Amino acid sequence: MTVTSLLDLRFATDHLEDGPRALLDILADTRAFDGCLSVQVAMDVTDPAHVIAVEHWQSLEHDEAYRAWRAGPGASGLGNYLAGPPVLTRFRDVVSL
């Protein structure tokens, strides 16, 4: 079953320009990761420091493999641009309620 993961990020005020650019570069590897169906980034219309990455995965196992890779050899350094730790929320996609 597919999974949608929301990664809620807040950039540090001194990284409002280079942080989003770095995120877009980092997401190239995310999109190429096995099981990634798509990634979209949305920026808060009233707060440019606040962005959400919306990721769609083939399965929870694919998403978990990706998170493990990012925690190890695929570490991106994104945390250097953030005001605090990102918040990850994952949802099981439902066809109909």
* Model confidence pLDDT, tens digit, residues 58-95: 999 999 999 999 999 999 999 999 999 999 999 998 87
Phi/psi at 66 (5° precision):
-65, -45
For 22-32, write each residue's pLDDT tens digit. 999 999 999 99
pLDDT score of 26:
95
Confidence of residue 96 (pLDDT cuts 50, 70, 90): low
C-alpha closest to that of 54 among 90, 89, 5: 5
Which residue would you say has higher pLDDT here, 73 or 96? 73
Global pTM?
A: 0.91
For 34-64, write each residue's pLDDT tens digit. 999 999 999 999 999 999 999 999 999 999 9
Token pair for residue 70? 């990012």
Confidence of residue 97 (pLDDT cuts 50, 70, 90): low
User: Which domains are present in the chain?
Assistant: 3-92 (3.30.70.100)
C-alpha closest to that of 53 among 73, 26, 80: 26
pLDDT score of 88:
98
Token pair for residue 63? 């998403």
